[in-house]
Each structure stands twice: as C-alpha cells, then as structure tokens.
Structure 1
Amino acid sequence: MARLAIERRSMAVLSAGHGVNDLAAGAIPALLPFLVIQRHLSYASAAGLILAFTIASSIGQPAFGHLVDRSTRAGLMPAGILTSGVGIALTGVVPGYSLTFLAAVLCGVGVAAYHPEAARFANYVSGARRATGISVFSVGGGIGFALGPATITPLVLAFHLPGTAFMVLPSLVMVVLLLVEIPRLERFRLAPPVMDRREGQRLREGWAPFARLVAVAILRQVVYYALLAFAPLYFVRVFLASPARANLVLTAMLAAGALGTLAAGRLADRLGRKTALAGALALVAVLVGIFTVSNQLVAAVVMIAAGAAIVGTFTTALVMGQEYLPANLGLASGLALGLPDGVGGISAPLLGAVADHAGLRTALQVSALVAVVAVGLALTLRKAATSSSDGALAREHA
C-alpha cells in the first residue's frame, strides 16, 4: 500500500534544496535596480537578464525531466544547486553585459537541473496528500526565492556588485547535505505501474488538458515576471524609493508567496484544483490593477498580497500537471515549471519595451489583463481521471 502521510525527513531535504536553488533565482530581479543605476542599463536590457535566466531554465527543465523519466538521475540535484550558485555568484563579478548575460544563463541551467528530479521525488514522498506535500516542497523554493533579494541586497550595498560572489556559499553547504541524503531518498522511488489498454488510453488523453494547463501557467508567468521586473522599478522611478527599500518590498512579496504556497496546497486538496487555481488568478488580476492606481503604502500591501496569490498557483499547477501525466512525472514537472518560465522570460523584455515607451504603469496594467485571460482558460480545465494504480504502487523501501 502507498504511504498516506508525507515522509517528513525526505521532504525537508528536498524542500531545503529547493530553497537554496531558488535563492539564486530570487536574487536576479533584486539586482536589476542596481544594474540600471550602476551600469546604466535600459529597462529592456535589464529585463533581458531575466530572459537569459528563464530561457535557459525553460529549455532545460523539460529536457532534464525527459531524462529523469528514462532513469533516475539523483545526482542532478546537487549538480543543479552548485551550477545555479556559481551562476549568480558570477553575475555581479564579470565585466560587461554579455558576460553578465551568460552568468544568468548558467544560473538558469542550474535551476533547470534541480527541479524535475526533485519534484518527482517530492511526489513520491508525499503519499496520498499530493497537493499538500508538493506545497511543502514548493514553499522551500518560495522561501529561498524570497531570501534572494534579502541576501544579495546587503552584499551589493557592502561590497558593490562583486559582492554577489558570496552567493555561492549556501550552494556549497547544500550540495554536501544532498550528497549525504541521496542514498536514503533513492529508497522512496515508486515501482513502475503495470498498465492495461484502458489505463494507457487514459494517460494519452491527459495530454490535451495538460496542454491547456501549461497555457494557463504561461499566462500566469507573464504576470509574475512583470511583477518581479517592474514592481521594484515602479517603487524606484514612480515613488522615488531607494533600491534597498524597493527590494525590501520585493522580499516581503516573495515571503508572502511562501505562505500562499502552503495555503494553496491545502485549499487545492479541499476545494479542488481548478477552483483554487482560477480563484487565485482572479485575485491577482484585481490586485495588480489596484497596484497601478495606489500610493506607495497601499501599493506595498497590494504587492505583498499579489505575491501570496500568484506564487500559490505554482503548487496547484504542478500537482495538476503530475496528475494529468502520472506516467511522466519528470517531464510533466519540467514542462509545467519550465516552459511557462521561458515564455514569461520572453514577455519581460517585451513589456520592458512597453515600459520604456508608455511607462511602467501601462506595462503593469497590460499584465493585469493577461491575468484575466488566464482565469478564463483555467475555468476550462477538467479534473484528472483517477488512475487504477493510484495509491497502490509499492515503494521499493517498504
């Protein structure tokens, strides 16, 4: 019989690794105001660094996901964390925009290597409470992402842009911990299911709703990256706040996202995946609209609330993707997480061009309209069919 409860020690390791991995990802948006001021980058060029990171991540995650579905590659988890740590460390050290762009690409490759295999193991150790379990895994990434600005901002203030070199230290520590824990994690792999013809047909039918789910996630990422790239700049340029204060609000937004992730997992298990997803996206659309017509204090509160709502949808979408494609957990995770990131990254410089010509407020208002479209598409999603083997797979360690 499958485990009903979440295996806490294993989930703690995976969630901590997720946090360290995403620490690097969260630091990149926080660097943008410093790069705009110190290196005189345009909004579009600054957003291009997010493009570099997200394209590398989006291409890499499905590729790594397909690889881990063919055979277990647990070594990708420590390798990914080390690569992302080295990438963010080099971002402020190397001279010139081209090398900074390549450092962001390296960071994205590291993030891509970690996520599919770690998400697959998180599914295994979650037992029957998948949405709650995946939310615990995801909240580690949310906390790490939130700590990215809080970690890199004082380093840059103290040591200027070369202070990013210190960002590799948490990665080195986590690599050692994962290398110690991987042999134990390997024991939680599920035995491959034996499927009859009807079960195989059910799995093939899961691709159509999965494609719509990915489209929803893509639209969500357009809004998410608009907030990451332009909300801090909005505080600096419109409210005349310092980069440090803008990044403080960004940190609070991402921290709220970690709390929203935990809440989203429980809501998805109780209310249903589609209801939780569409409801959160509707809230995001309203909040982003309010942000653009508010004063500094209200905008900060709204930005934090929007972070809780939008980051919480990551867990719901990931669980739905894995349930639509239960025989391809790595690929489902890679596509649900990676492809939306890539398109979101492409949209960032496009919205940056809008901001350059029409203003930051207009760019953010466009993203609010995108969130409305995402809500409509989310309402078309269906519940994943229940697998005949679901809950009955033997664990190798049992």
Structure 2
Amino acid sequence: KSLAQSIFQVGGNGGSALGPLLAAIIVLPFGQHSISWFALAALLAALIMVRLGAWYKARLAYIAVHKQRNPTLNNDISKRAKYWALFILVMLVFSKYFYTSCITSYFTFFLIDKFGVSVQTSQLCLFVFLAAFAIGTVAGGMLGDKFGRKYVIWFSILGAAPFALAMPFANLAWTIIFTFLSGLIIASAFSSIVVYATDLMPDKVGLIAGIFFGLMFGLGGLGSAFFGWLADKTSIEFIFRVSALLPLLGIIAGFLPNTQKKK
C-alpha cells in the first residue's frame, strides 16, 4: 500500500523537482512565454485520466460486491485512540509541509543572499532538494511496507531534524548536502502517513485521503505565506533557523498506535 501511494506521489514530486531545472534551462533563456508549452503535459495527463477513470469505476464496482476484511490490520484500536492518532498525524503533516514550503519557496533567495550565487545556480541547488524529495517518496513507501508505517513516519520527520538544524550554519557545499539529506528523509513520511490513516479508518478511505492531501497543499501555501511575512520582518537566514525546529515535532510519532498486526 505504501509503495503504491508513493508511486502516485512521485509523479507530483518529480514534476516539482523538474520545475526549477526547466526554469534554469528553458524559461530563463527563452522567456516566460515558453511556459505555455508545458500545458501539453497537462493535456496528455487528462487523456490518460479518462481511461483510468473507466478502469477505476469498474474496480469500485467489484470491491462493492466482493467486500473483504483485511486480516493484517489491528482492529482493537478504540475510537478515541484513532482520533488521537489522526490529530498526531495532522501535527506531523503541519511540521513537514511548513518546513518544506520554506525550502521550496525561499531556498534560492537564501543561497543568493548568503553565498552570492547566480539565479541559475540557485535553481539547480533547489533541484537537488526536490530530486531528493522525489527519491525519498519512493524509498519511504517501500520501507513503510517492510518495517511498518509508524516507524517510517517517526524516523522520517525526526530524522531530518539534525540536517535541518545544521544547514543554516554550514558553508555552500555542506548546505547542499544537508538540504539533500533532509529532503530525502522527510519526504519518506507522507505516503506512510496517508496509508496509516486509511488503515485507522478503512471504511473512509476517500475522506481520509481528501483530508490529508488537502492539508498537504493548504499547509504548504500557508507556510509559504507565513515565512514570507516573517522574512520581511526579520531576514531570510532567520526563517531558515526557525523552520529547522519544525522536524523536532516528529518525536510525537512515538505515541501512534500500531495499525498493523505483528507477523
């Protein structure tokens, strides 16, 4: 389940990773009007979704007739414990996407301001973080299926903290390395978070997925606006020091119950 979810997400993460790279090699040399050519990719995706929608409709009809109880899930979790676990997951999504919104929105400005690099170089450095994010998404899905989603969530958020805390104080080379490692580790959480949440409430898969994907995009936008406001009040370097504290919230993942039965 986690691997399937991560494969879905890596399309979006891969596209986001290519964004700064395409900006550096296409948009900057040829102008903003060249962005319109990328609409062809959206049209291709729409055509694929028409075919996929027909397949999924048939799949839903099959599941409605052939309902099966998942024998690998822990069904002894109380309703109160489930809601508490969902609250913890929301807090983890908040910490993850507030931190990543700071990186994706302001990392180029941070590099230009602190190290005096060119716009193209800063875009390439941002690509390093976003590429690590895409790789970490797939890796997190595989690890979640193998070792348990709770432990991947715990390691992913909290494990990024040392690199996030060290990054604002490093030189250029180590800044890129720490950014790559923090992106690689923190990206591994989301597919496990979504699947973990649907395991808690397997009869409300659509609702749970909608809530967490909505939080992903909503918190990312709010985080970008918040750190932009804070940067105007203080400095770009200051917001990176503040945002580096967010992955420490990963420690609360230890309170999550196990949704999977032990083999």
Q: State the TM-score, normalizing by the size of structure 2.
A: 0.86
Cα contact 2:92–2:157 (8 A) shared by 1: no
Give the CA deviation at 1:332: 0.7
| Equivalence for 1:296 | 172
The answer on 1:381 being equivalent to 2:252 is: no
2:152/2:188 contact within 8 Å kept? no
Alignment check: 8 A CA contact 1:324 1:385 kept: no
**2:210 corresponds to which letter in structure 1?**
G
Deviation at 1:221, TM superposition (A): 0.9
Q: Distance in 2 between matches of 1:159 and 1:340?
A: 32
**Residue 178 of structure 1: how far off its partner (Å):** 2.3
What are structure 2's unaligned runs of at least 5 residues?
A: 70-74
Match of 1:313 in 2: 189
Counterpart among 171, 183, 186 of residue 54 in structure 2: 183
Structure 1 residue aligned with 2:5 = 134
- Find 1:220's aligned residue among 84, 96, 100: 96
Contact 2:20-2:126 at 8 Å conserved across structures: yes
CA RMSD, aligned part only?
A: 2.4
Instruction: State yes or no: 1:345 paired with 2:221.
Output: yes
Judge conservation of contact 2:133–2:183 (CA < 8 Å) in 1: yes
Higher relative contact order (CA 8 A, sep 6+): 2
Asked if 1 retains the 8 angstrom alpha-carbon contact of 2:2 and 2:141, the reply is yes
Structure 1 counterpart SS, 2:203: coil
Deviations 1:57-115 (A, max 9, x none): xxxxxxxxxxxxxxxxxxxxxxxxxxxxxxxxxxxxxxxxxxxxxxxxxxxxxxxxxxx
Q: TM-score normalised to the size of structure 1?
A: 0.59
Partner of 2:72: none
DSSP-derived class of the 2:202 partner: coil
Residue identity opposite 1:370 in structure 2? L
Deviations 1:112-137 (A, max 9, x none): xxxxxxxxxxxxxxxxxx11222222
Shift of 1:200: 11
CA distance in 2: counterparts of 1:180 and 1:265, whole angstroms: 26
Q: Equivalents in 1 of 2:76, 2:92: separation in Å?
A: 26
User: Which segments of 5 or more consecutive residues in structure 1 lack a partner in the other structure?
Assistant: 1-129, 387-398
Structure 1: how far apart are the matches of 2:91 and 2:79?
A: 19
C-alpha distance in 1 between matches for 2:184 and 2:20: 16
Separation of aligned partners in 1, 2:14 and 2:214: 19
Residue 159 (1) aligns with residue 30 (2): yes
Distance 1:152 1:350, change over 3 A: same
Does 345-354 or 204-213 show the bigger shift? 204-213
Amino acid at match of 2:38: M
Name the one with the larger helix percent: 2
SS of the residue corresponding to residue 257 of structure 2 reads: coil
The alpha-carbon deviation at position 337 of structure 1 amounts to 2.0
Conserved? CA contact 1:280–1:310, under 8 Å? yes
Change (3 A) 1:232 1:249: same
User: 2: distance between equivalents of 1:363 and 1:179?
Assistant: 43
Partner Cα distance (2:64, 2:141) in 1:
26
**1:205 deviation in Å?**
5.6
Contact 1:219 1:370 in 2 (8 A): yes
Q: CA deviation at 1:278?
A: 1.5
1-side partners of 2:120 and 2:144: how far apart?
35
Shift in Å, 1:353: 2.6
Amino acid at match of 1:383: N
Name the SS of the counterpart of 1:241 in structure 2: coil
The one-letter amino acid of 2:42's match is S
Residue-by-residue CA offset, 1:26-85 (whole Å, 9 max, x unaligned): xxxxxxxxxxxxxxxxxxxxxxxxxxxxxxxxxxxxxxxxxxxxxxxxxxxxxxxxxxxx
Q: CA deviation at 1:168?
A: 1.0
Cα distance between partner residues in 1 of 2:16 and 2:121:
17
Paired with 1:146 and 1:318, the residues of 2 have a C-alpha distance of 21
- Shift of residue 202, structure 1, vs aligned partner: 5.6
Distance in 1 between residues matched to 2:213 and 2:111, nearest whole Å: 29
Within 2, Cα distance between the matches of 1:200 and 1:334? Answer: 25
Q: Distance in 1 between matches of 2:7 and 2:222?
A: 29
Whole-Å separation in 2 of the counterparts to 1:183 and 1:354: 47
Instruction: Please state how far the C-alpha of 1:336 moved relative to its aligned partner.
Output: 1.4
Question: How many Å separate the matches in 2 of 1:332 and 1:358?
Answer: 37
Conserved 8 A contact 2:2-2:145: yes
CA distance in 2, matches of 1:303, 1:194: 43
Matched, 1:248 2:119: no
Q: What is the Cα deviation at residue 194 of structure 1?
A: 8.3
Aligned in 2, Cα 1:181/1:274: closer, same or farther, shift over 3 Å? closer
Does the 8 Å contact 1:202/1:385 carry over to 2?
no
User: Contact 2:164/2:178 (CA < 8 Å) preserved in 1?
Assistant: yes
- Residues 13-92 of structure 1: matches in 2 within 5 Å? none
